[in-house]
Every structure is written in structure tokens, then in C-alpha cells.
Amino acid sequence: MVERPQEPASGYTCREVVELVTEYLDGAMTPGERAALEVHLNYCDGCATFLEQIRTSASLAGGVAPEQIPEDVTEALRAAFRARREP
Amino acid sequence: MIGSVEGTGVVSADASLVARLRDGDERAFDEVVSGFSPAMLAVARGYVGARSVAEEVVQEAWLGVLRGLDRFEGRSTLRTWVLRIVANIARDRAVREARSLPFSPSDFEGNDPAVDVRRFRLQTEPYPGGWRSFPSDWRLLPETQVAGRETLDAVREAIAALPDAQRMVVTLRDVLGCPAEEVCEALDLTPGNQRVLLHRARARVRAHLERHFDG
């Protein structure tokens, strides 16, 4: 594959694009910035792949089992909850 | 207020849950304890570090929640309110133990590029700022490898190694799926600062995965 980096007309360089992807994914860009980024992503395979990798990283994080409090703490809290109702 | 139950001010999605809790419904309590505690632990650990101390902080926060339940006015969601309580207790504890607090200016300043700058062309070269060689396409890897156990272990490892502030934000956003607005409100972060931390965290997780996949 010939790796053809961005053309200057796009407004953003690849080095800039990699810093903007979270802003892009969170919908926090102005319409103009968003359009310029999308122009870049449309012809830069490197940045499109990078965006996909960030998406994959975020979605894989969603598969990590979250830490939970131990059962004895839950039990103690349940007791406190019951006690709350008692006079 | 849209989405509120008349007279209570409690956001409707939470209204029945809060009513059940006030009523002493133990199943509702179990539901919120198992549902909210992972996010509370993530917040507490960001301030106090050790898991055992974080568990104490979460327990103390729940007792505070029980004491304050009748005063909950529903100006935020129940979970956000609970997360603010745990953040306050954890912050106090960290101050008492003279631990440095997350979200200090150094967490947002400085140059922490998402990708090693050596991977981009110099100003003096053709296509300045362009990739020297493209990142590899993980979609070409076997699905079993991308979503496999070793990959999840690598993600967990990468998150565990993050600075406290980044770990808190990426755990809340990407591991637990909290919306950006909630993270900002719970941790008193501006949307911009929240995004800086999330971006730096995701970039480090990505870089770790790249080493994991590409060898």
C-alpha cells in the first residue's frame, strides 16, 4: 500500500488530527472543525485507522470487569439501611 | 423542569427509585449499591490510591447517602449526587493523608502527545506533520484475538498504569459508560479538562494495545 499522507489543503496535519479524535467522538467540535476533520479522514487512511483504533480501545475498555465492593461491606450497608427504618 | 415529577423535583427516571429507597425497599438499595459502587470505587481510588482505603471511603459515602436521602432534591441524577458525595469524602481523606490531589494544573498542562512525535514527518520534510508509516488496521486481526482475554488483560493493565486523574475519567467514561456531563459534574471538571484527560488516557491505552497487537 502506498502511504500517502495528508494534503496541505485539508487544514489539519495528521499530527494535529490524532489530538482531536476525542473531541470529534464527543461531538465537541464546531461544524467547521468537524467538516475539516472529516475531509482529512476521508482521504487519509492513517488517520482513519487511528480513529478506529481509539474507538476500539474505548469499546474494549467497556469489556473490562469493573471493581466491586466486597460482600461484607455490602452486608454492613444493608444492615445500616435496615436500621434507618427502625425508630 | 422537564422530566420531573410534579411537586418532588426529582428527575423521573430516578423518582421511583428514590421513593422506594425512602420507603425502605431493600431490593432497591441492593440495586443502587451494586449499580453505583463500581463508579464510586473508581472515584475514591483516584483520590486515596489503595483499594482497601477506597472501600472504606465508599462505605462511608453510602452511610452519608442514607443520612442525606430525605434531603435529595433531584437537581442532578441520583448517581451524580452519590458520586459527588464520594468525591468529597475521598478528597477530605486524601488531604488528611497529605496525598497529592488529582486534577492539579499539572494534569492538564504540558505536552503529552497522543502519538510519539517521531512517527510524524518533520517540518523540513515533504508532507510535514504526516504519518511516516500508518498505524496497522486491527480490523484485519482475527476477531478472537482482538476481543480475547489477553487483550482485555492488556487494556486493564494499561488503565491501571495511568495517572490517577486519567484513570478516573477513562474508568467512568469507557469502562462504566458514564456520560461526559455526569463525569464533569461529579468531579467538578470543565468539559474541556474532562476531554483532555479522557483523550490522554485513551491514547495511552491505544499505544499499549498497539504494542500488544504488533509485538
- Write down the pLDDT at residue A8: 47
Mean pLDDT by 10 residues, chain B (215 residues): 44 82 96 97 96 97 96 92 97 94 86 93 94 95 91 97 97 97 96 96 98 89
Alpha-carbon distance A33 to nearest alpha carbon in chain B (angstroms): 16
A27 in contact with B, Cβ within 8 Å: no
The pTM of this model reads: 0.91
Alpha-carbon distance A25 to nearest alpha carbon in chain B (angstroms): 10
Q: A27-41 pLDDT, tens per residue?
A: 999 999 999 999 999
SS (H, E, C) chain B: CCCECCCCCCEHHHHHHHHHHHCCCHHHHHHHHHHHHHHHHHHHHHHHCCHHHHHHHHHHHHHHHHHHHHHCCCCCCHHHHHHHHHHHHHHHHHHHCCCCCCCCHHHCCCCCCCCCHHHECCCCCCCCCCECCCCCCHHHCCHHHHCCHHHHHHHHHHHHCCCHHHHHHHHHHHHCCCCHHHHHHHHCCCHHHHHHHHHHHHHHHHHHHHHHHHC
Alpha-carbon distance A51 to nearest alpha carbon in chain B (angstroms): 10
Residue in chain A closest to B117 (alpha carbons) equals A15
B141 in contact with A, Cβ within 8 Å: no
